[in-house]
Amino acid sequence: MNKIKSGLLIFMTLLLSNVMIAQSIEEGKKFLYYEKYKSAKNVFDKLVAADANNVDAVYWLGQTLIGMEDLDGAKNLYQKSLATNSNSPLLLAGMGHVELLQNKPQDAKSRFETALSLSQNKSVPVLNAVGYANSNPDSKNGDGNYAIDKLKIATGVKGMKDPDVFVNLGDAYKKIGDGGKAQLAYESALALVPNYARASYRIGKIYQTQGQSQEEIYMKYFNEAIAKDAGYAPVYKNLSDLFYNTNVTRSAEYLEKFLANTDDDPKNCYYQASMKYAQGLFTEAITKADQCLAAPQPYWKLYGIIAYAQNKLGDSVKAKSSFEQYFSKAKPEQIGMGDYSTYANVLLKFPGNDSLAGTYVDKAVSLDSVEANKVTYLKSIASYYETQKKFKEAADWYNKIISVKKNLSKTDLYNAGYNYFRSGVYQPAIDVFNLYNKSFPDDPFGHYMIGKANWAIDSTMEQGLANPAFEKAIEVGQTDRNKYKNQLIGSYKYFVAYYANVKKDKQMAINYCDSVLAIDPADAEALNNKTVISQMNMNAPASKPTKAPAKAAEKGTKPKSPEA
SS3 per residue for 167-232 = HHHHHHHHHCCCHHHHHHHHHHHHHHCCCCHHHHHHHHHHHHCCCHHHHHHHHHHHHHHHHHCCCC
Q: Count of alpha carbons within 13 Å of 31, Cβ hemisphere only?
A: 22
> Alpha carbon 3 to chain centroid distance?
70
Secondary structure element (H or E) that encloses residue 422, with its range: helix 410-422
The whole-number pLDDT of residue 331 equals 83
**Residue 516, C-beta contacts closer than 8 angstroms, at least 6 positions apart:** 489, 492, 493, 496, 523, 525, 526
Rg (CA), the chain: 34
pLDDT < 50 positions in the chain? 1, 3-5, 8-19, 540-543, 545-557, 564
> Alpha carbon 370 to chain centroid distance?
5
What are the tens digits of pLDDT across the range 121-178?
999 999 999 999 999 988 889 999 999 999 999 999 999 999 999 999 999 999 999 9
The whole-number pLDDT of residue 550 equals 40
Q: Count of alpha carbons within 13 Å of 483, Cβ hemisphere only?
A: 12
Neighbours of 90 (CB within 10 A): 25
pTM (predicted TM-score) = 0.74
Contact by Cβ (8 Å): 39, 31: yes
Cα 116–117–121 angle (5° rounding)? Answer: 55
Domains of the chain (ranges, CATH numbers):
431-554 (1.25.40.10)
The whole-number pLDDT of residue 297 equals 87
